[in-house]
Every structure is written in C-alpha cells, then in structure tokens.
C-alpha cells in the first residue's frame, strides 16, 4: 500500500478518528488504527481515497480482503457493510451491554466476519460505554 501522508490524514479526519466498522475511537490507547482498503487491491480495489477506511487492528485483521460473506440468518451470500456507501445506523444497532446487532444481511455478515461480539471486544466496549467515550461519532454516518 503506497498511501500518502495526506491520504492518511484525510481518511482519519473523515472517520472522526473512529474505526468505521466497530466505532471504537482512535484515542483509546488499547486500539491501534490502520488505513486500509475497503475493496482489497487483490480484488481490483485502488488506493483512491473513497476506497480507504480507518480501522482498528481487530476489525482490519478480521476483515482482511473479504468483501462478502454468508448472512448467518439466511445463509445467503451478501456484501459486507461498506462505510463509503452505507449508513452505520441502518445496518447495526448498539445494545447497552456493548454488543452490536446486525439489522440487515450486510450488517449480520459484517458482525460475524469482523467478530464484533467476541467476548473481549464486548467487554472492552462496555468499559468505554461506562467512561462515556463509546461509541465514537462519525459525521454524516
């Protein structure tokens, strides 16, 4: 990946310094953030800014090059949530206990592939909720 410092800054600012998938803030010292491709280069994605997203290391690691998965509710193949083309609140709901629920096929597939509700991730979000620093807010999303 050959991104410029300007691209990295733009992506981070556009995301409000939040993971564009799980909504953990970049200020959280337990999270390392990456600028990565929504559609991987190996799937003909580009370094264009609209194909880049800000991600915590867990979301980035679990997503990998995936762009689609099976909806765990229906078993039907569906695309993963696309942070440039879709609104988070239409695809996910955050519960007070820190779990994230997929509301649509894309949301459910993304929750499963990115393992949003692994025990350690939920516990981490619970602490951040108690500290009133979660979820991180992304403008217009």
Q: What is the pLDDT of residues 88-107, one digit of tens each?
A: 999 999 999 999 999 999 99
Give the residue carrying structure tokens 């765990």. 72
Residue 17 falls within a domain, yes or no? yes
Q: Distances from the Cα of 81 to the Cαs of 28, 104, 120, 126, 127, in angstroms?
A: 23, 9, 22, 23, 25
> Is the entire prediction scored with pTM above 0.85?
yes
Range of the domain at 56: 5-130
Residue 141 falls within a domain, yes or no? no
Burial code of 66-101, b = ≥16 C-beta within 10 A, e = fewer? eeebebeeeeeebebbbbeebebeebbebeeebebe
Residue 139 falls within a domain, yes or no? no
Q: What is the tens place of the pLDDT at every residue in 107-127?
A: 999 999 999 999 999 999 999
Residue 124 falls within a domain, yes or no? yes
**Counted domains in the chain:** 1
């Amino acid at each position: 990946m050959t991104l410029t410092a300007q691209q990295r800054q733009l992506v981070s600012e556009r995301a409000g310094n939040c993971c564009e998938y799980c909504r953990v803030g970049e200020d959280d010292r337990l999270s390392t953030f990456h600028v990565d491709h929504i559609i991987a280069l190996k799937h003909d994605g580009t370094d264009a800014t609209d194909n880049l997203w800000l991600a915590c290391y867990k979301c980035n690691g679990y997503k990998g090059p995936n762009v689609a998965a099976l909806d765990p509710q229906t078993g039907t193949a569906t695309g993963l949530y696309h942070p440039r083309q879709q609104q988070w609140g239409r695809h996910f709901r955050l519960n007070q206990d820190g779990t994230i629920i997929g509301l649509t096929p894309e949301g459910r597939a993304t929750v499963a592939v990115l393992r949003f509700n692994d025990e350690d991730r939920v516990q981490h979000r619970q602490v951040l909720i108690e500290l009133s620093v979660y979820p991180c807010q992304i403008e217009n999303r």
